[in-house]
Structures are given as structure tokens and as C-alpha cells.
Amino acid sequence: MLDSNFARLHAVPADALARRRADVHVLVLTGLGLNCEVETAEAFRLVGATPHSVHLLDLLRGHAERPLTDYQIVAFAGGFGFGDHLGAGFVYANKVRWRLYDQLLEFIDGGGLALGICNGFQMMTRLGMVPGFDGDYRTPRATIAPNDKLGYWDTWIRLEADPESPCVWTRGIETLDLPTRHGEGKFLTESPEVLERLEAAHQIAVRYVDASGNPTEAWPANPNGSPGGVAGVCDPTGRLFGLMPHPDAYLYPFQHPDWFRTGRTEGAADGAGLSIFRNGVDAAVAASIEA
């Protein structure tokens, strides 16, 4: 049903589609070491949604103006939540698990979408939001480990999206250049069977690829050594998506290091990272048509 509603979006007049996008309210969590909230909120604003930046403690303590379940999308921005003490995203995940998880599960059950970028992906993985097999979002099946080449690494990489993935966030994307910056980004599953299941279900939505366009585990095209080039994973519904690279850092063409030298973005009004945010917002609009 969602696929057919995506197709119907093309028939919606531009002004009506703009109004529907503006009705998509996005919760962007901030504070306590999260430091990419401004660009994440700006990305959603640029594609027409209505972002709300809310401090994590206000949400955890019930002091926020509205509950998590009032939003259509929740965005877990990048950064270093709680200083990444005990491991990247570990304390952050535990805070959410013990103070917010019932709300989060209600949000997921209600059809909500979630995007986790870098630290947000680390947190989602440690919570069990991805891979989320069989609707189980409480049991972690994977972790994010330190990079094979130890140390924080900041560079641009190329991703290839799986066209058969259920991920609504990567719909229509073939390849995508994005910046990546992390010291802990190696995606490891609890068993080979979990990775095989992810592969079979096309839940590995994006992979690191080399100059020839092949998935790679080799540095520097793969900055962390994730098996099979895993760069981002979705849940079985495709609504929950986490990735290590930063689409929030490629909102304008001139942010790409080759934008002038190669002319690769000539005539482009947007940075390619916006395609991920636009897809998510349009998925929320499509879901509202279905409802």
C-alpha cells in the first residue's frame, strides 16, 4: 500500500504536496554531546518538513511540550552522546531504554519513522531498533565496534544503495557521496546467521564501495572495515534506518570537495544528502495518504 501511495505523490499538485510535507513534524534530539542537531533540523526544513529540536533530558524527564508519539519522524542526530563513555552510543542507548522506550515502541507501532546518523545509528543498533527482526525492537542483534584502522577518521566515501531494500529513506538512490567521521563504525552482528538474514532481507540498505563500484572492506573506501561494506541498515518495514556517513553534512552542492574542480554538481540546487531526508518526509506523507 505504501508503494502505491508513493506513486500517488507524483499526482499531488505542488502546493498541496508542500502543505502535506509541512504537516510532517520531526523530533530532532539535542544536547549531552549530540552536536549535529542544527544541520539535521535544517535538512528536514529544506525538504519542507517541520523540525522541532528538543533537548534529550526534557524528553526523558517528561518536560517536553509534546510526547514522542506526537511526531511522524524522530531523528537521532550525530555527535558524541554522553561523551561515548563505555562505547559509542552505549550510555545514550541505556538512557533511552530505561526512560523512554515504551514511548518509542508505541511510536514505532504507530507507523513512525526514524533516522539515526552516526552516533544515532550506534544508539539505534545498541537498542535493537535495527535490525528489528520479527518486530522485536528490544533485543540487540549487532553492535558498532572500533574501526579496524584505529582512530577517528574524517573523509568522503561513496555509498551504493540496494535497489531491493525495503528502506524508504534510500528509495531511488543508486550511489551517493557522503562525508564520514567516526572512530567506532564497524558493524558487527552477533552471529554469521544474523548477517545472512540481513543480506537475504535486503536490510543492508547502503554499502561502502570502491572506485570500481564494488562493495569493499578495504580502507580508505571503507573507513571502518565493516563486513561486506555495511554502511547502513534498516528494519524489515524500511521505516527505521541508521547509517554511519553524514547526509546532514551534504545539504548544498558546494559542500562536496570536488564541486568546482570536476563540475560534478553543475546545475544542482541541492546537496545529494538531502535525497535521504526528502525520501523520509515523503514516506511520512505517503503513510498519511494511506491512513
- What value does the mean pLDDT take over residues 27-54? 96
Residue in this structure with the C-alpha cell 567506532, named with its chain if needed:
184
Dmax over CA atoms of the chain, in Å, equals 51
**Confidence grade of residue 264 (pLDDT, cut at 50, 70, 90):** low
- What value does the mean pLDDT take over residues 194-215? 98
**Residue 169, pLDDT above cutoff 90:** yes
Q: Are 28 and 54 in contact (CB under 8 A)?
A: yes
Task: Give residue limits of the domains in the chain.
Answer: 2-290
What is the Cα–Cα distance from 9 to 4, expressed in whole angstroms?
A: 9
Domain 2-290 fold is Rossmann fold (3.40.50)
Q: Residue 2 has what pLDDT?
A: 58
pTM exceeds cut of 0.75:
yes
C-alpha distances in angstroms, 9 versus 3, 13, 23, 162, 192? 10, 9, 15, 22, 39
